[in-house]
Amino acid sequence: MSWIILIIAGLFESGFAFCLGKMKGVTGMEYYLWGAGFLLCLTLSMLLLAKAVHTLPIGTAYPVWTGIGAVGTVILGIVFFHEPASFARLFFICTLIASVIGLKMV
């Protein structure tokens, strides 16, 4: 169950980065709504990470959490913010995914 909580926490990390990216291009009320989404995702991500480390080692949980967040943020950036999807970028995202899987296995 802790692994599922950790994965959800990582997804919320991508969520707060996405909200931060959306805040960059807006003003007024929309800025504050994306800011509220940022704070909500940030809070949920941290609380779920804290819950996951009750049973998982922090040395494993934290890198997995940041890895999930990083991969998710890059994917969201490519899909929603039209960031480049170069071979090198995708290659290193794949190596990051392999590292996260490796940490879980050991």
- Quick check: 100 pLDDT over 90? no
97 contacts: CB under 8 Å, gap ≥ 6: 67, 71
Query: Smallest Cα–Cα separation from 15: which of 67, 72, 65, 64?
Result: 72
Q: How far is CA 91 from CA 5, 78, 87, in A?
A: 27, 14, 6
Mean pLDDT, to the nearest integer, of 29-42?
98
pTM for the model stands at: 0.89
* Residue 31: predicted pLDDT: 97
Confidence of residue 104 (pLDDT cuts 50, 70, 90): confident
List, for residues 50-81, the tens digit of each pLDDT value: 999 999 999 999 999 999 999 999 999 999 99
The CA-based angle 92-95-99, given to 5 degrees, is 140
- Quick check: 41 pLDDT over 90? yes
